[in-house]
Amino acid sequence: MESLWRSWAETFNCDAAKKLNFHGLTTQVFKFCLINGEALALPLWLKDRPFSTTIQLVEPDRLSNPNNASDSKNLRGGIEIDKYGAPIAYHIQKDHPGDYWTGLKSWERISAFTPFGRRRVLHVHDISRIGQNRGKPVLSAIMPMFKMLDHYERSELQAAIVSAMIAAFIETPMDNEGLNELFGGSSDEYLNAKKDWQVKLEGGSIIPIFPGDKVAPFTPSRPNSAYGAFVENLLRHIGTGLNIPYELLLKDFSKTNYLSARSALLEAWRYFNGRRQWLSDYWATPVYELWLEEAVNKGLVDAPDFYENRYAYTRCKWIGPGRGWVDPVKEAQACQIRMEIGLSTLENECASQGLDWEEVLEQRAREKERMKKLFDER
């Protein structure tokens, strides 16, 4: 079953557009959920593929009420719901609302399920409140912070550029009466001449100045001495809103020690694992169920009473990228101790590093067999 799954998931045949494999589709779905708060996918049936089950990603902006009508009791945000709030159908605009060639707008109604229970729409989103039908972007809670940071940095950069343009001031200690007395009662010619005179500051140059003038150095106060502390404080608030430690948000561990870095990473991984489980439950496993249903019906997988025991047959674990090690020696010893005292298994330890424990054992067996063969030949 795993080899058949990989023949579909690791090729472009799983994507209706033939641009992404299942890993790429999953990445796009997760990015859409972060940016838009939701992702939308349509499981299609294309008979010209090795497996007819294919996935087409759809821009969530296309999910809307027909003719942009207002929400009603049974139609909310382009989703038809029953009296219990379960989705019945999805209304998807045939063109993106922002396309310039869109003339007469039209919508297509797609049922949530086929008559025999197969999904026709995958709508992945977080539900924060009872009765919520559309997703909310993760960044929405901290957008004011981003806006303030953007305004502050723009203003600080503009002030720094203006300060950098000024090299020095030409000061005149004499007042108008002194100038008039110096130039015989009228200083108009002197002032007109100064208007046309430009000082060019160059390395090693000698600058002539008018009588009574002196050059005063200019010491700019930009960037502000509190600039770094203020920006760091804003970024810490942003990291808290995203459930990401400050060190990981900026990838800056220069101000932390081993214990603090490990604590920050552990706290971040609690959140990451929760997001992984959510993505597995609402995206990866439903797609696997769609594919497995076709494989069973084609006779490629023997699964008696599949529809009666669908949940048992589609129960699976998804392995994501490994978390890595801060101190490989200490953490490898900790893995060994956890397995020896029965707190963990080889499967869990391998999965935490993005590995399949069966593949690890099979590869080790092949390596040992190869080593033995080479030593025997010698």
pLDDT tens sequence across 238-287: 888 888 888 888 888 777 887 887 888 888 888 898 899 999 999 999 99
- pLDDT on residue 324: 80
Residue 347 has pLDDT above 80, yes or no: yes
Tens of pLDDT, residue by residue over 355-378, are 999 999 999 999 999 999 998 877
- pLDDT on residue 224: 74
Residue 235 has pLDDT above 70, yes or no: yes
Residue 94 has pLDDT above 90, yes or no: no
Residue 202 has pLDDT above 80, yes or no: no
- pLDDT on residue 18: 92
Tens of pLDDT, residue by residue over 178-187, are 666 666 666 6
3-state secondary structure of 43: strand
- pLDDT on residue 39: 94
Lowest mean pLDDT among 149-158, 210-219, 259-268, 304-313: 210-219
CA distance 153 to 235: 13
Tens of pLDDT, residue by residue over 6-35, are 999 999 999 999 999 999 999 999 999 988
- pLDDT on residue 312: 92
CA distance 58 to 122: 10
- pLDDT on residue 5: 94
- pLDDT on residue 208: 66
Average per-residue pLDDT for the chain: 85
- pLDDT on residue 117: 87
Single out the residue of 83, 87, 28, 36 nearest to residue 61, CA to CA.
Answer: 36
- pLDDT on residue 145: 85
What's the one-letter identity of residue 212?
G
- pLDDT on residue 123: 95
- pLDDT on residue 169: 67
For residues 301-327, average pLDDT: 88
Q: How far is CA 207 from CA 123, 173, 179, 185, 200, in A?
A: 71, 18, 21, 28, 8
Higher pLDDT, 68 or 300: 300
- pLDDT on residue 366: 94
Q: Which pLDDT band, with edges at 50, 70 and 90, does 211 fall under?
A: low
CA distance 241 to 140: 10
162-170 long-range Cβ contacts below 8 angstroms, 24+ apart: 163/218, 163/220, 163/221, 163/222, 164/220, 166/218, 166/220, 167/201, 167/218, 168/199, 168/201, 168/215, 168/216, 168/217, 168/218, 169/215, 169/216, 169/218, 170/199, 170/209, 170/213, 170/214, 170/215, 170/216
- pLDDT on residue 346: 92
Quote the pTM value: 0.78
With beta carbons less than 8 A apart as the criterion, state whether 106 and 49 touch.
no
Residue 81 has pLDDT above 70, yes or no: yes
Q: How far is CA 43 from CA 95, 119, 301, in A?
A: 18, 7, 20
Cis peptide before 223 (omega within 30 of 0): yes
- pLDDT on residue 174: 65
- pLDDT on residue 207: 65
- pLDDT on residue 35: 87
With beta carbons less than 8 A apart as the criterion, state whether 162 and 170 touch.
no
Instruction: Give percent of the chain with pLDDT exceeding 90.
Output: 43
Higher pLDDT, 234 or 122: 122
With beta carbons less than 8 A apart as the criterion, state whether 54 and 43 touch.
yes
